[in-house]
């Protein structure tokens, strides 16, 4: 039986497991990328493993999220740390202002057939060039940089057949909005979307990357296109034709699901507040007043996208509507220089667009927030409530063509109704290649001193597990505790992400404001939880903070999957009550003793918790596998890898 593209790449990277959908596998990672918001932790993790150099074929660190100084040194401190740590450990560094990680990675680094793991959820953008690109947490990236495989469940592969050709003023964004309309934001969980069919050959790599980028909004593990003539054209224009290789599904390849889309039937679509799958036809909203238009983000800021907007304004001989504030954040310095070379930067400036940095910018609420209660149309990928920085704004997501039509007219407008002639944007034969803001690793790492400002303070692992854990129950909580309960988000706390002692002060502060103080006074202890402990966001600080405060084990009725994995990674034993009613036999303040002398892998490994205060024994289990047991015994995954490396 033939293989599809996903299977071909996984097969050549498989380290453990079988290629059966839903079964656990481990794959070798060729490339990693990080952005600054998640990258600081990833490199701090990596640094603490004690390796002299990254083990990947290529690792790149981008600064694109927190680029603007907002009243303190935290961002600048992070940038300098990222630059020096990259130089020392063999990582390429892309400076703030060079552009958005996914755009630059596509232009300069992504390679068909390679695996890429990135600490950003839109890492699958590189699937536009035929790379199997997956988003993950900072720890996973650190482990990949250390040469460890990436563990995941073998995804289902969905074949998306594209037929026909897009009509004028309908574009790649409308293809992915159509998929979101059909499948919803949960439709891609556990799946990789593999595109194929006749229609593929009409889509350039940047257009394909718009589709794979926003596959993340389907909840998909990844999305991927074949590597064909279009891929060759793009890579040649980037001076990278030597890295091109053909990559296609075998004619008899099988898929778990098949979806058909006739491109010629699509029309301009728009995602309405506050979810990317609230998709309607632009026509249905025509006439609604719009206050703001933002063009950019890793979804739609390529040369093709900005040229399209400029050419529409040029042909229409129009300027931005007086009641609209319109801004562009180009995807990269390369894109900005290219549109300038074509004379289109000037066209857009004269039309009344404001130019922002080549960075994420308004996509993460870094400036250009909409007015209160205002309507903002953006070419971005997310429109969650409040993400724009304005709590009551109404944010819509659309294509560059639709955004341009709206910027001109000041109201929702189907771009086909402007009466313009068809505009075709061809990729240039050669892009303006300018890597002057990308720095190669240092030739002599010993010469580099990693710069750490006072806001960077890191502790990565704890002491190895002994035969016995003793201490007090510092907190007893109920069911459905979220990671937001454990470590709250917000503008005050997030800048402390690289300062573990400082951020740990906030552990459980929303539940019990004395928790951190008590934990420090008692020298650590235990937490008792109910069902679904640690649900919600995947933030690893919800495990790092408790680890720093000396939490040795959590005993709960059940765990949310990602938080349980994070607890294991940071050396905290996640125990489960064998009899859920035993939850009632432990109170806050009780002294516990946990016998870990027979701690071993398996569902049936029973760990006895002795409640010394009440004079009773309580059986618990954990269900950890062999690797996880080793990680807990070592004191966390960083120590485990470090020990392995030191042999």
Q: Does residue 297 belong to the site contacting ligand F3S (CB under 6 A)?
A: yes
- For the bound state, the minimum distance from the C-beta of residue 122 to ligand F3S, rounded and expressed in Å, comes to 5
- Reported as type and span, the H/E element at residue 196 is strand 191-196
User: CB of 356: closest distance to ligand F3S in angstroms?
Assistant: 12
Of the candidates 537, 538, 558, 595, the residue annotated as catalytic is: 537
Could you give the C-alpha distances from 489 to 360, 493, 494, 500, 570, in angstroms and in order? 20, 6, 6, 14, 20
Q: From the candidates 120, 140, 305, 582, give the one annotated as an active-site residue.
A: 120
Chain center to CA of 464: 31
Is there a contact between 66 and 357 (Cβ–Cβ < 8 Å)?
no
Asked if 94 contacts 62 with a C-beta cutoff of 8 angstroms, the reply is: yes
Residue 554: alpha-carbon gap to chain centroid? 28
Q: Does 282 bind ligand F3S (CB under 6 A)?
A: no
CB-count burial class (<10 Å; 0-12, 13-18, 19+) for 185: middle
Burial call 208-219: b when 16+ CB within 10 Å, e when fewer: bbbbbbbbbbbb
Closest to 576 in 3D by CA, of 538, 615, 531, 545: 531
Order of strands, edge to edge, in the sheet holding 58-62? 132-135, 115-118, 31-35, 58-62, 92-94, 438-439
**CA 48 to chain CA centroid, nearest Å:** 23
For ligand F3S, the binding residue among 298, 395, 486, 562 (CB under 6 A) is: 298
The three-class DSSP label of residue 506 is coil
Nearer to ligand F3S, 113 or 276 (CB): 276
Element (H, E) at 307: helix 303-316
Give 538's DSSP letter. Answer: -
The stretch near ligand F3S (CB under 6 A) out of 358-366, 369-377, 544-552, 626-634 is 358-366
Can you tell me which of 364, 500, 555, 573 binds ligand F3S, judged by CB under 6 A? 364
| Pairwise CA distance, residues 556 & 621, whole Å | 10
The dihedral built from the CA positions of residue 213, 371, 304 and 273, taken in this order, carries a sign that is positive
**Residue with smaller CB distance to ligand F3S, 336 or 638:** 336
Residue 606 near residue 578, CB atoms below 8 Å: yes
Nearest-approach distance from CB 158 to ligand F3S, in angstroms? 22
Instruction: Give the whole-angstrom CA distance, residue 627 versus residue 634.
Output: 11
Residues 401-420 that bind ligand F3S (CB under 6 A): none
| Minimal distance, residue 321 CB to ligand F3S, in Å | 25
- Binders of ligand F3S among 101-140, rule CB under 6 A? 101-102, 120, 122
Is residue 332 part of the annotated active site? The answer reads no
Report the site for ligand F3S in 67-106 (rule: CB under 6 A): 100-102
Residue 29 near residue 144 (C-beta atoms within 8 A): yes
382, 387, 563, 564: which is the annotated catalytic residue?
Answer: 382
- Minimum CB separation of residue 357 from ligand F3S in Å reads 12
Look up 539 and say whether it is catalytic: yes
CA distance 518 to 513: 10
Q: Of residues 65, 208, 337, 563, which has the active-site annotation?
A: 65
Q: How far is the CB of 96 from ligand F3S (least distance, A)?
A: 13
**Which is nearer to ligand F3S, 480 or 538 (by Cβ)?**
538
Span from 137-145, 246-254, 360-368, 553-561 in contact with ligand F3S (CB under 6 A): 360-368
Torsion region of 502: left, alpha or beta (phi above 0 gives left; psi -120 to 50 gives alpha): alpha
- The region of 46-54, 272-280, 359-367, 570-578 touching ligand F3S under the rule CB under 6 A is 359-367
Separation in Å, CA 539 to CA 4, 41, 535, 567: 33, 11, 10, 11
* Residue 363 interacts with ligand F3S (CB under 6 A): yes or no: yes
* Helix ranges (DSSP H) in 410-532: 483-486, 500-504, 515-522
* Minimum distance from residue 295 beta carbon to ligand F3S (Å): 12
Closest CA to 559 of 633, 512, 621: 621
**360 counts as binding ligand F3S under rule CB under 6 A:** yes
Q: Is 120 a catalytic residue?
A: yes
- Specify whether 65 is catalytic: yes
β-bridge mates for residue 191, sequence order = 156
Residue closer to ligand F3S by CB (options 141, 298) is 298
Q: Is 383 in the site for ligand F3S (CB under 6 A)?
A: no
Give the nearer residue to ligand F3S in terms of CB position, either 211 or 360: 360
- CB of residue 308 to ligand F3S, shortest distance in Å: 19
Rounded CA gap, 330 and 326, in Å?
Answer: 13
Closer residue to ligand F3S (CB): 100 or 307: 100
Binding positions for ligand F3S, 35-74, rule CB under 6 A? 64-65
Interaction with ligand F3S in 220-249: which residues (CB under 6 A)? none
Nearer to ligand F3S, 63 or 192 (CB): 63
In the numeric block, which tokens belong to residue 309? 């907007």
Least distance CB 379 / ligand F3S (angstroms): 10
- Cβ closest to ligand F3S, residue 104 vs residue 320: 104
Q: Which is nearer to ligand F3S, 59 or 84 (CB)?
A: 59
Cβ atoms of 285 and 402 within 8 Å: the answer is: no
Alpha helices per DSSP H over 389-488: 400-409, 483-486
Q: What is the DSSP string of 147-182?
A: TPPEEEEPPEEEEEEEES-PPTT--HHHHHHHHHHH
Residue nearer to ligand F3S on the CB measure, 279 or 356: 356
State which residue, 101 or 425, has the beta carbon closest to ligand F3S: 101
Total site size for ligand F3S, rule CB under 6 A: 13
| Residue 45 annotated to the active site | no
Q: How many residues belong to the chain?
A: 647
Check binding of 379 to ligand F3S (CB under 6 A): no
- For residue 299, the minimal CB distance to ligand F3S (Å) is 7
Among 75, 84, 171, 381, binds ligand F3S (CB under 6 A): 381
Q: In terms of CB distance, is 61 or 381 closer to ligand F3S? A: 381
- 329 by DSSP, 3-state: which? strand
Q: One of 102, 497, 539, 541 is an active-site residue; which one?
A: 539
How far is it, in rounded angstroms, from Cα 555 to Cα 576?
A: 6
Per the CB < 8 A criterion, the answer to whether 390 and 278 are in contact is no
CB of 358 to ligand F3S, least distance (A): 11
Q: Whole-number minimum distance, CB 52 to ligand F3S, in Å?
A: 30
SS3 293: strand
Is position 369 an interface residue for ligand F3S (rule: CB under 6 A)? no
Site residues for ligand F3S per CB under 6 A: 64-65, 100-102, 120, 122, 297-298, 360, 363-364, 381
Where in the sequence numbering do the catalytic residues fall? 64-65, 120, 382, 537, 539
């Amino acid at each position: 039986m033939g293989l599809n593209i996903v299977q071909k790449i996984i097969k050549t990277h498989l380290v453990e497991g079988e290629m059966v959908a839903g079964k656990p596998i481990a794959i070798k990672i060729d490339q990693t990328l990080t952005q600054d918001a998640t990258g600081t932790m990833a490199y701090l993790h990596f640094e603490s493993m004690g390796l002299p150099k990254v083990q990947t074929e290529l690792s790149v660190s981008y600064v694109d999220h927190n680029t603007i100084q907002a009243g303190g040194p935290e961002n600048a401190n992070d940038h300098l740390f990222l630059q020096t740590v990259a130089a020392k450990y063999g990582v390429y560094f892309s400076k703030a202002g060079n552009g958005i990680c996914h755009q630059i990675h596509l232009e300069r680094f992504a390679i068909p057939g390679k695996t890429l793991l990135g600490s950003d959820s839109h890492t699958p953008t590189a699937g536009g060039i035929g790379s199997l690109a997956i988003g993950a947490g900072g720890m996973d990236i650190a482990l990949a940089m250390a040469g460890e495989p990436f563990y995941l469940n073998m995804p289902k592969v969905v074949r998306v057949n594209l037929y026909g050709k897009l009509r004028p003023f309908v574009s790649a964004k409308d293809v992915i909005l159509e998929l979101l309309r059909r499948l919803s934001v949960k439709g891609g969980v556990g799946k990789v979307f593999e595109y194929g069919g006749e229609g593929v050959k009409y889509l350039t790599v940047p257009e394909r990357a718009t589709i794979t980028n926003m596959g993340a909004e389907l909840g998909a593990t990844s999305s991927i296109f074949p590597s064909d003539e279009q891929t060759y054209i793009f890579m040649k224009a980037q001076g990278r034709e030597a890295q091109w290789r053909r990559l296609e599904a075998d004619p008899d390849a099988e898929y778990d699901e098949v979806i058909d889309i006739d491109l010629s039937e699509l029309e301009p679509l728009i995602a309405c507040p506050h979810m990317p799958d609230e998709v309607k036809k632009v026509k249905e909203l025509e006439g609604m007043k719009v206050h703001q238009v933002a063009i950019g983000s890793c979804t739609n800021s390529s040369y093709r996208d900005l040229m399209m907007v400029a050419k529409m304004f040029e042909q229409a001989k129009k300027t931005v509507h007086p009641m609209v504030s319109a801004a562009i954040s180009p995807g990269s310095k390369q894109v900005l220089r290219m549109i300038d070379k074509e004379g289109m930067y000037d066209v857009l400036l004269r039309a009344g667009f404001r130019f922002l940095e080549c960075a994420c910018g308004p996509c993460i609420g870094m400036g250009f927030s909409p007015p209160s209660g205002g309507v903002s149309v953006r070419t971005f990928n997310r429109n969650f409530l409040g993400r724009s920085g304005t709590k009551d704004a109404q944010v819509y997501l659309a294509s560059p063509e639709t955004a341009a039509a709206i910027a001109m007219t000041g109201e929702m407008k189907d771009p086909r109704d402007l009466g313009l002639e068809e505009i075709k944007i061809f990729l240039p034969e050669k892009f303006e290649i300018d890597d002057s803001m990308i720095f190669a690793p240092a030739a002599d790492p010993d010469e580099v001193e990693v710069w750490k400002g006072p806001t960077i303070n890191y502790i990565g692992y704890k002491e190895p597990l002994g035969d016995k854990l003793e201490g007090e129950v510092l907190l007893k909580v109920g069911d459905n505790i979220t990671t937001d309960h454990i470590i709250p988000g917000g503008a005050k706390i997030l800048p402390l992400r690289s300062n573990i002692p400082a951020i740990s002060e906030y552990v459980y502060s929303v539940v019990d404001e004395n928790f951190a103080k008590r934990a420090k006074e008692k020298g650590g202890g235990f937490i008792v939880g109910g069902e679904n402990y640690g649900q919600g966001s995947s933030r690893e600080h919800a495990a790092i903070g408790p680890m720093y405060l000396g939490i040795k084990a959590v005993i709960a009725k059940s765990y949310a999957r990602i938080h349980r994995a994070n607890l294991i990674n940071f050396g905290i034993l996640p125990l489960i009550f064998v009899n859920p009613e035993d939850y009632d036999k432990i109170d806050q303040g009780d002294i516990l003793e946990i016998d870990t002398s027979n701690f071993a892998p398996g569902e049936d490994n029973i760990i006895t918790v002795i409640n010394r205060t009440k004079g009773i024994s309580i059986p618990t289990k954990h269900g950890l596998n062999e690797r996880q047991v080793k990680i807990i015994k070592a004191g966390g995954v960083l120590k485990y890898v470090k020990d392995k490396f030191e042999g």
